[in-house]
């Protein structure tokens, strides 16, 4: 089995603010990320798939097909957007943890129609928010 990871970059803004917390608790929990005007990041989204190497092609997956999938179902929602405006985050704080779960769910919804064969399978996603902060779905760590 081979794991293939493809990285995509996008810039987006968000404000971390929970309607379930008081203003004071929001400031204490999210610090500068609770700025009422929001703030932005240059994110790196990594999509990881796994599968056997095809004997004919020597490849584990068709990367251009993955590129088309990501560009079609994720990037219109993410690139140069305020993440708070997405329906997904109407009642959810747009933390990068929640963003990673959202990205994986959206990919899984379209994976089988895009890759109808048994392989490759989606292994998970990782989102790098800063040089120091990255968040990955559980599938990224399992074998």
Mean pLDDT (whole number) for 75-89: 98
- What pLDDT was estimated at residue 139? 72
- The pLDDT of residue 81 is 98
| Digit-coded pLDDT (tens) for 27-65 | 999 999 999 999 999 999 999 999 999 999 999 999 999
Given 3.30.479.10, 3.40.50.720, 3.50.50.60, 3.40.50.300, which CATH number is that of 2-140? Answer: 3.30.479.10
CA distance linking residue 14 with residue 47, whole number of Å: 22
Backbone angles phi, psi at 86, to 5 degrees: -75, 140
pLDDT at 102 over 90: yes
What would the mean pLDDT of 83-110 be, rounded to a whole number? Answer: 98
Write the burial class of residue 28 (CB in 10 Å: 0-12 exposed, 13-18 middle, 19+ buried). Answer: exposed
User: Domain limits of the chain?
Assistant: 2-140
Residue 140 or 114, more confident:
114
pLDDT at position 58 is 97
Contact between 27 and 19 under an 8 Å Cβ cutoff? The reply is no
pTM of the predicted protein model: 0.94
pLDDT band at 143 (very low <50, low <70, confident <90, very high): very low
Residue 141 has pLDDT above 70, yes or no: no
Beta-bridged to residue 10, according to DSSP, are: 43
Token digits for 73? 């179902």
Mean pLDDT of the chain: 96
Distance CA(88)–CA(56), nearest Å, equals 41
CA dist 5 and 128 (Å) reads 13
């Amino acid at each position: 089995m081979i794991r293939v990871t493809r990285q995509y970059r996008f810039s987006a803004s968000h404000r971390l603010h929970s309607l379930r917390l008081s203003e004071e608790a929001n400031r204490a929990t999210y610090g500068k990320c609770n700025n009422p005007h929001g703030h932005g990041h240059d994110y790196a989204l990594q999509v990881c798939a796994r599968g056997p190497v095809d004997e004919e092609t020597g490849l584990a997956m068709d990367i251009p097909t993955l590129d088309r999938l990501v560009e079609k179902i994720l990037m219109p929602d993410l690139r140069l957007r305020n993440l708070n405006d997405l329906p997904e985050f109407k009642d959810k704080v747009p933390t990068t943890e929640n963003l990673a779960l959202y990205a994986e769910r959206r990919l899984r919804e379209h994976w089988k129609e895009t890759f109808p064969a048994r392989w490759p399978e989606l292994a998970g996603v990782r989102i790098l928010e800063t040089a120091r902060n990255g968040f990955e779905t559980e599938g990224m760590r399992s074998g």
